Each structure stands twice: as structure tokens, then as C-alpha cells.
Structure 1
Amino acid sequence: MVRTIEYRSFGGPEVLEMVEVPESAPGPGQVRIAVRAAGLNPVDWKIFSGMMGGDAPATPQGVGRDYAGVVDAVGEGVDSLAAGDAVLGTVRSVPGRGTGPGTLTERLVIAADEVVPNPEALDFVRAASLGVAAETACGALRALDVAPGDVLVVSAASGGVGSMAVQLAARAGAAVIGIAGERNLDYIRSLGATAVAYGEGLEERVRAAAPSPVTKLLDCHGPQYVDLALELGLDPAAIATIVPAPPSIAKGARVTGGRDALPREDLRRTAGLVADGAVRATVARVRPFDLDAVREAYTELRGGHVRGKLVIEMA
């Protein structure tokens, strides 16, 4: 039997349950992974809370998208991976909105062609923190075509996606201005960006911090930053958001993120950069694979002030 986290109705973290289910064997083209760590993302709680829409689940649904672990069984026709291989990845079909499993489980069966090798220098906790954040950041920067000479503003720059976008944009040659709370400004500077605190007078502070006129803005928080971009004189084509809020869409901002990613390519490249020390994967806290700890982690994540990522580590 395998321990796994699931939910049967929409609600807060209290709807999550720890259950035991039979261990599944991988089918053709699949591998089974002994999960060592699973990263948490805001989209997880938005799904199990019902914020993403749709009917209440008719059957129990898994939770989580990001994982790192070790292959312990391979299905027929798989020759790219073998038992004992260290891997990481992201479940492509959102749990609760498709047929994909959740990653808060001791054993995960997934298509072999969705799995990325885990570099030897990258520990499982940091590897598990990468999936959604890396792919979303890479996709967003691709959608904005961030290049040398750009002055890019990133909102919620201390979060999982924001902190990754800041670093990757700086590596691409852009001058980056990261918006965050006062307590995270030094952290933003350590990532290679100019840090600006959010709050009243933000437009003036951004203008003063920019080495030249702002050319693009990536919103990782909400519609008020699309408004900021317009106040800064940006054309809607130069504004992207990972938060598909109707007001932002109505004002012409491009909704981006994973939809513009090259999933395996982006994740493989980012994992290599983190393993080499060229990019930092910030893990705010690591919690055990325990129901109370998982519920507490999602409660913290819902608060919206996590620096980097929260990760669940299996025993």
C-alpha cells in the first residue's frame, strides 16, 4: 500500500486527507517513481478550494504537481530510463482538472517522456521546488521576448515564479526591477535585481529605479500590476501576467506561464543552472509528509508571503 494525499470535496486545507491506496505498476511507456520530495504551488490550493471552477470532484483527486525522486520500475517500451535513475518533473494534467495524479504520494506513475533526469549535484528538495516555477518563468520570459537592453519589472519577485524569472531575465541580459515587500528587498538584490517595495508611490519608485525607461512588465501577483504597467506607459503587448484575472485580460495583458513553456527543455536547462550554482532555487521551508504538516504548509502558502518554495519531504 502507498500513502497519498487526496481530497473529495472543495474547501480549505482541511479537506485534504491522508489515505492508503494499492501500489500501481507502470503501463507501457510509463515509469513508477519513488517520490523523495514534492514542491507545493499556489495552483494546488486554488484547485482543491474550487477557485479554478468546475464541478466538485466525483472521485478522490490527488494533490500537487512537482516532484523529485528515483525510478523504481519501468513499463514496456521504456528504454530512456532505468530503475535507480534520479529524476524530477511536473505532472502536466492538473489534478482535479484532468486525469493526472497528484505528487503528494509515495509512488507516482507517470509517462516516461515527461520525466527529466536530475543532475547529480542537485538534491531532491531543491529539484522538487523547480517544476512549475521554472516552466512558468521560462514561458513568461519567452512570451515577452526578454532580451539584452530590456528593462523588465517583475511583481511578486520574491515568490517561487518571480524569483526564478528575476534570475533568468538577468541572465538574458535584461535590467530587472523586482517588486516585493520590505523584508524581501535584500533577497531581491541578491538575485541580481534592483529591489523596489510595493505600496503607495510605487510608480514613482519604479521610475526612479529604472536605468532607462521600462520596456516590459511581468505580473506574478494580480491586476494592480497590469495597471502599474499601463501607468508606466507600456503597450499591452509588453505586459504579461501569470494570473488570468478578467481585469488584466480586459486591458490587453497577455496571460502566460506554462502555456508558453517548452516543458522538458525548460526544466532540464533550469535544473542544470541550479545544479551548477548559476541560478538559486530558494526553499523557504521543508515539511514532513504528514497530514497536519501538509495542511499547515498550504495554509502558509495561501497567505501569499512565502519567499521561494515550500517542499514536502518524504520519510
Structure 2
Amino acid sequence: MTTASTPLGRARAVRFDRYGGREVLDVRDVPMPRPGEGEVLVEVRAAAINPGETTIRSGALHDLLPATFPSGQGSDLAGIVRETGPGIREFGPGDAVLGFSWTRSSHATHTVVPAAQLLAKPEALPWEVAGALSVAGPSAYAAIQAVDPHPGEAVAVSGATGGVGTLVVQLLARRGVTVLGIASAASAGWLSAHGAIPVAYGDGVGDRLRAAAPRGIDAFIDLFGPEYVRLAVGLGVKPDRVDTIVPSSAAVECGVRQEGAAVADTPAVLRDLSALLASGAVELPIAATYPLDRVADAFEELERRHTRGKIVLLPQDRG
């Protein structure tokens, strides 16, 4: 086993012992994890929070994604390799990496991750952006792939300035698509500056979409909720060209696509997206950062659903 300096003491990690709201979250001292075959120990510098973590913590996905208590949380991460397990050749202590954990473990000062789920972090990529990419990036990639947009087509995007939406808008614009970005009126400037036609949400949004795309809307990417699935179908978009990343009965009833991060959560996709972000060709706005001890406050801000871009935990920051 290779080490930079053998980790001493204990790590700190977010835990919860029962399903519930933000009040069940706790930050605890835990044994320092040790990497096994094919794994590395990462000192986490940044780890995003995601709406799906709220849903899992509430118990709403118990039948599909049950928690084993005490449960950790978090999948996105970026950090420094501190120790490698047997069989690791691609990384060594001191390497900067980004990637994802399938074991709900990134909201912590340290976590063990299979090397196959990591890639080298580009030097130009800020920590908070690198740590926010592994859910939002593949989710954006998968949603675009699902609706298969072509240059000149009109594609509507709900939740267009959220963590996934900001990437979807820019990636669509790079394809020569007419992007109709549904968001608050306060976000109109950002959308216009990034190649989209802003469309304010709220009463009359359907009429505003029709006015923005008088020749019709070819595809619809929903990143917010079931009301937009019904709106898309009502606007005449074919169900196989509607994709939502928000599970709902409306999605099933309308027969639309439900393709999210899982279908594109690969190092290859992350490598392409991280290169675009590092070069400045695409940006991922960071709405706020919080130290690990304020994880409940971070989720409170997320649950208001009015952030532009991602909210990120900085586990090494004692705030």
C-alpha cells in the first residue's frame, strides 16, 4: 500500500439515523476510512449537494434506494489522493482528482472511492466546480442525449438556471439549438448572455413559450417538476422528445423519457465536461459554498429552489 503520510486520527462525515428533514443531519467524528483493492482514499476538498439527496433522506425513495442507518450522503467530490490501495497504478498520493461515490459518502472530510470512478482534475478547474460536476454534468449530458436535438430546432428547458440547467442551456447552444430557458425574470440576463431566449415561469408560461417559438417546440427538457411534463405534451411536443430528471406519476402517464445521470455517469463524460469547464468554453455557476458543519443550512438554501448553479460543501473549511 502506498501512502503520502499514513492518515492519523479520525475523519468527519455527515450522518443521519432516521428519515426526515434537515434536522436529522449530523456531522460526526468517524473512523478514518482505509482503501481496499482498487480503491483510493480522497481528502475531500469540495462536494456538491443535490436535490436527490433531500429525496433519499426524506424516505420518499425507500423502496428504490433504501438507506442503511446510520447513513452518509453525497456523491460528487473533488479532492486530493492521500492513500492508495493494492492494485492502483493510475493515481498516487498528492494527485488532484474529481469523480463520484456510489456509497453516499462524499459529504465528509475523507472518503474511499474506487479508482475507476475518478479522473485527474484539470489544474485550471476550481475545486468547487470540480466537486459539483459528477451529478449535474452527466444529468445534463443524458437529458440532451435523450431528446436528440438538431441544429435549428427549438428546445425548451425548465429549471434552466439550476445546477443541471445552466449546463444544459450552454451545451444546447453549442449545438446550434434555439434554447428557450424557463426561469425567473431575474435570470433573464444570464440566459441571454449564454445563448438562450429567456422565458419567465409562472402563469401564462405556455403562451410565452409559443410566442418565443412560433414555429413550434421540437423538444422539452424538464429539470423542475411534473407540471412541465404536462405542459410539454400540451404544447404538442412528442413524448419521446420530452425528458425529465424528476421522477413523477405525470412522467409515467405521459410516456415521456426519464433519463438522468445514471445513463451517462462515466469517467469519459466527466473528462469531456471537465475539459470544457477548464477551458472556459462552458461555465458552472457556484451559487454558494458552506463548511461541512453547516450542511443543514446548505440544504435549506437548496430547498428554496431559486439558486443559480450549484451549492457546494467545502469539508476542509472550518468556517
Asked if 1:179 is matched to 2:182, the reply is yes
Q: Structure 2 residue aligned with 1:37, among 30, 46, 54?
A: 46
User: Which amino acid letter does the alignment assign opposite residue 232 of structure 1?
Assistant: L
Q: Structure 1 residue aligned with 2:110, among 101, 107, 111?
A: 107
In the TM superposition, 1:268-307 aligns within 5 A as: 268-290=271-293, 293-307=294-308
Shift of 1:287: 1.1
Name the counterpart of 1:96.
none
Q: Judge which range, 244-253 or 206-215, deviates more.
A: 206-215
**What CA distance in whole angstroms lies between the structure 2 residues aligned with 1:57 and 1:81?**
31
**What CA distance in whole angstroms lies between the structure 1 residues aligned with 2:205 and 2:33?**
52
Name the counterpart of 1:168.
171
Q: Given that residues 27 and 292 in structure 2 are in contact (C-alpha distance below 8 angstroms), is that contact kept between their aligned partners in structure 1?
A: no
Shift of 1:211: 6.4
* SS of equivalent residue, structure 2 residue 182: strand
Q: Structure 2 residue aligned with 1:64, among 66, 74, 77?
A: 74
Q: Structure 1 residues 5, 142: CA separation in 2 closer, same or farther (over 3 Å shift)?
A: same
Deviation >3 Å, runs of 4+: 54-58
Shift of 1:202: 1.2
**What CA distance in whole angstroms lies between the structure 1 residues aligned with 2:130 and 2:215?**
36
Asked if 1:190 is matched to 2:193, the reply is yes
Asked if 1:199 is matched to 2:208, the reply is no
Name the counterpart of 2:3.
none
**What CA distance in whole angstroms lies between the structure 2 residues aligned with 1:71 and 1:111?**
12
Q: Given that residues 100 and 113 in structure 2 are in contact (C-alpha distance below 8 angstroms), is that contact kept between their aligned partners in structure 1?
A: no
User: Which amino acid letter does the alignment assign opposite residue 249 of structure 1?
Assistant: V
Deviations 1:163-192 (A, max 9, x none): 111111111221111000111121222221
Q: Structure 1 residue aligned with 2:35, among 8, 26, 32?
A: 26
Q: Given that residues 146 and 241 in structure 2 are in contact (C-alpha distance below 8 angstroms), is that contact kept between their aligned partners in structure 1?
A: no
Shift of 1:303: 1.7
* SS of equivalent residue, structure 1 residue 272: helix
Shift of 1:57: 4.2
**What CA distance in whole angstroms lies between the structure 2 residues aligned with 1:56 and 1:176?**
37
Name the counterpart of 1:87.
97
Asked if 1:256 is matched to 2:259, the reply is yes
Identity within the alignment, %: 39
User: Which amino acid letter does the alignment assign opposite residue 61 of structure 2?
Assistant: M
**What CA distance in whole angstroms lies between the structure 2 residues aligned with 1:264 and 1:58?**
27
Q: Judge which range, 22-31 or 259-268, deviates more.
A: 259-268
User: Which amino acid letter does the alignment assign opposite residue 58 of structure 2?
Assistant: S
* SS of equivalent residue, structure 1 residue 61: coil
Q: Structure 2 residue aligned with 1:228, among 214, 224, 231?
A: 231
Asked if 1:52 is matched to 2:53, the reply is no
Q: Structure 1 residues 155, 115: CA separation in 2 closer, same or farther (over 3 Å shift)?
A: same
Asked if 1:265 is matched to 2:263, the reply is no
**What CA distance in whole angstroms lies between the structure 2 residues aligned with 1:12 and 1:125?**
25
* SS of equivalent residue, structure 1 residue 62: coil
User: Which amino acid letter does the alignment assign opposite residue 166 of structure 1?
Assistant: V
Shift of 1:117: 1.2
Name the counterpart of 1:97.
none
Deviations 1:89-124 (A, max 9, x none): 122x3xxxxxx1421111110100000211010111
Q: Structure 1 residues 104, 178: CA separation in 2 closer, same or farther (over 3 Å shift)?
A: same
**What CA distance in whole angstroms lies between the structure 1 residues aligned with 2:159 and 2:174?**
19
* SS of equivalent residue, structure 2 residue 152: coil
Deviations 1:60-114 (A, max 9, x none): 11111111101111111111111111111122x3xxxxxx142111111010000
Shift of 1:146: 2.0
Asked if 1:143 is matched to 2:111, the reply is no
Q: Given that residues 162 and 220 in structure 1 are in contact (C-alpha distance below 8 angstroms), is that contact kept between their aligned partners in structure 2?
A: yes
**What CA distance in whole angstroms lies between the structure 2 residues aligned with 1:56 and 1:219?**
25
User: Which amino acid letter does the alignment assign opposite residue 298 of structure 2?
Assistant: A
* SS of equivalent residue, structure 1 residue 45: helix
**What CA distance in whole angstroms lies between the structure 1 residues aligned with 2:150 and 2:84?**
41
- Equivalenced residue count is 306
CA-atom RMSD in angstroms = 1.4
**What CA distance in whole angstroms lies between the structure 2 residues aligned with 1:249 and 1:176?**
25
**What CA distance in whole angstroms lies between the structure 2 residues aligned with 1:233 and 1:73?**
54
Shift of 1:269: 0.8
